[in-house]
Structure 1
Amino acid sequence: MAKLTELKSKDHQDLKLSEDAMIKHAASQHVCNLQAHEVANAATCFPVFMTRSSTAGQIVLSAMMSFTVKENLFVQDKTWQSVFQPTSFRTYPLFLMQSPENEKQCTIGFDESSSDLSNETGLPLFTSEGKASPLLSEKTQLLEAELGHMRQTYEFTEALNKLDLLKAVDLQVHYQSGEVAVIKGLITVDEDKIQSIDNQALDELRKKGYLAPMYAMLISLFQVNVLITKHNQLTSHNKIKTVKIEVSKDTTAS
């Protein structure tokens, strides 16, 4: 991510957001970060996997929206084509950042080089009195709530990891042309291991509300078929024949 600048009314009162910023951003994203509380809703629309961050090594949740990098099958004709819209799309192009004044606090930041923000045209982020516009207020509320959701997500993924309930998988995308593309680095819940854990551990997962997102992730695997259908409807060449989910031989992913 680019270096962020703290958003302040006294410095950025004239800043405006392009009306199509979210949809342009979403159109180029084949995966989208999720928080644990979003998994159940996301699973009704997309396959949901975990991946391990290449920088911090932390496990993150993601919705898959295409088999092709920089392509989103749920953006067509400049409109969002799914019932569920992830929070990370709704808050774009604003982000949480560490406060320059207090390293223990977070504030709202933005990328000054973003073409989606300007002082000339678009939807205002501040009123003429320097107060947050309704648009900015909505995004700020979502971002502030993300602090708690990020902690919950970390605790959720760590709990599953410690109980050894995760497994690394690969997606083998078989095209009608004979080409096979393999998508690696994906992690899902190991259903067999859920069945074998002791009752105390299972009850603890239930009390923490983790069973719903766990099973939602498993059910979401069937949404791979939705991606296949959408891909084949939108392309006249290189159609997909089938996608196989295989246990990965690369154990470092989990």
Structure 2
Amino acid sequence: MANHVLLNSVEHSDLKIITTRSEKYGDNLWFSPTFVDEIRSVQAHYPIVFHKDQNSGQFTPVALFGFEQQENLFLESSKWCATYIPLSVQRMPFFIGRQDVTTDGGTEQQRVITLDIDSPRVSKTQGIELFLEYGGNSQYLEDIAAILETLHHGLQGNDNFVNALTSLNLLEPMTLDITLDNGANHQLVGFYTINEDALNSLSSDNIVQLHKAGYLQAAYLILASQVHFNDLVALKNKRVAQEE
């Protein structure tokens, strides 16, 4: 279980972060959230589908890395075999927290950086420094702060994106049946995708509405990303062959 603490240069001055990509560092994710402004970069490498939270019923666009839990087919020999890694993965083990700050006008909440102090990426002997020797943030930490800010605003914007799609009945459940080279059958269920026929049948007013919001291109990019299911199957076949 994650143990989030408020990052500060006093208690954490000697900490480093291991950036190597590996299962042992928590990269065995089979999907990860993305957002509208990131979809162009993500769709160049991964299938994008929608995950529905079983408790809230909320949909989130996600980049898919495998066909089952804890399977990341892009991990190989301690490296991530794609030139773009989603920001929600890049930011690990950092998160955005909130802290009450008292000013003359009263108390308000401000966003702060928190660290999963129990993450296997956290080290005192190897990795990239968080703070400079004589004070101040390292460039790595500055980059992480920028990623977290982009991610915060991007994920917040997902609600409007999803609401626009669902209001037009553009999301539908998907099932993907695959047969591997060794004859094994797998089925991917539980995710949603964009109904291409429904998207292509929208009225001109609805199309303009999606376009002005910046969602029309994102919707078509998500559809285009489905070609990468073939890449996932190829990676799965390669992984299975290596294990046999």
The interval holding the TM-score normalised by the smaller chain is 0.7 to 0.9
Separation in structure 1 between the aligned mates of residue 66 and residue 80 of structure 2, nearest angstrom = 14
Match of 1:67 in 2: 67
Identify the match of residue 220 of structure 1 among 207, 213, 225. 225
Q: Is the contact made by 1:21 and 1:116 (CA closer than 8 Å) also made in structure 2?
A: no
SS at match of 2:11: helix
Residue 153 of structure 1: how far off its partner (Å): 2.0
SS at match of 1:121: coil
Separation in structure 1 between the aligned mates of residue 216 and residue 92 of structure 2, nearest angstrom = 30
Q: Residue 69 and residue 36 in structure 1: after superposition, are their counterparts in 2 closer, same or farther (change >3 A)?
A: same
Separation in structure 2 between the aligned mates of residue 103 and residue 167 of structure 1, nearest angstrom = 41
CA deviations 1:8-27 (Å, max 9, x no partner) are 11221112112426775464
Q: Is the contact made by 1:34 and 1:86 (CA closer than 8 Å) also made in structure 2?
A: yes
Match of 1:81 in 2: 81
- Kindly report which structure 2 residues correspond to 1:18-167, keeping only aligned pairs within 5 A, or say none: 18-20=18-20, 24-25=24-25, 27-99=27-99, 101=101, 104-167=109-172
Residue 43 of structure 1: how far off its partner (Å): 1.2
Aligned length: 239
Identify the match of residue 209 of structure 2 among 183, 201, 204. 204
CA RMSD of aligned residues (A): 2.4
- Range moving further from structure 2, 165-174 or 97-106: 97-106
**TM-score, normalised via structure 1 length:** 0.85
Match of 2:104 in 1: none
Gaps (5+ residues) in structure 2? 102-106
Separation in structure 1 between the aligned mates of residue 140 and residue 208 of structure 2, nearest angstrom = 42
Residue 39 of structure 1: how far off its partner (Å): 1.3
Q: Residue 238 and residue 224 in structure 1: after superposition, are their counterparts in 2 closer, same or farther (change >3 A)?
A: farther
Q: Residue 228 and residue 21 in structure 1: after superposition, are their counterparts in 2 closer, same or farther (change >3 A)?
A: closer
Q: Residue 30 and residue 103 in structure 1: after superposition, are their counterparts in 2 closer, same or farther (change >3 A)?
A: farther
Q: Is the contact made by 1:21 and 1:92 (CA closer than 8 Å) also made in structure 2?
A: no
Separation in structure 2 between the aligned mates of residue 149 and residue 216 of structure 1, nearest angstrom = 17
SS at match of 1:39: helix
Q: Is the contact made by 1:51 and 1:60 (CA closer than 8 Å) also made in structure 2?
A: yes
CA deviations 1:153-209 (Å, max 9, x no partner) are 221111111121111112223345554332222111111111222211110101111
Amino acid at match of 1:86: P
Separation in structure 2 between the aligned mates of residue 208 and residue 88 of structure 1, nearest angstrom = 23
**TM-score, normalised via structure 2 length:** 0.88
Separation in structure 2 between the aligned mates of residue 103 and residue 184 of structure 1, nearest angstrom = 43
Q: Is the contact made by 1:26 and 1:72 (CA closer than 8 Å) also made in structure 2?
A: no
Q: Is the contact made by 2:21 and 2:80 (CA closer than 8 Å) also made in structure 1?
A: no
Q: Residue 2 and residue 74 in structure 1: after superposition, are their counterparts in 2 closer, same or farther (change >3 A)?
A: same
Residue 100 of structure 1: how far off its partner (Å): 5.1
CA deviations 1:94-135 (Å, max 9, x no partner) are 111222547743211111211211334322101123311111
Q: Residue 109 and residue 54 in structure 1: after superposition, are their counterparts in 2 closer, same or farther (change >3 A)?
A: farther
Amino acid at match of 1:158: N
Separation in structure 2 between the aligned mates of residue 109 and residue 72 of structure 1, nearest angstrom = 25
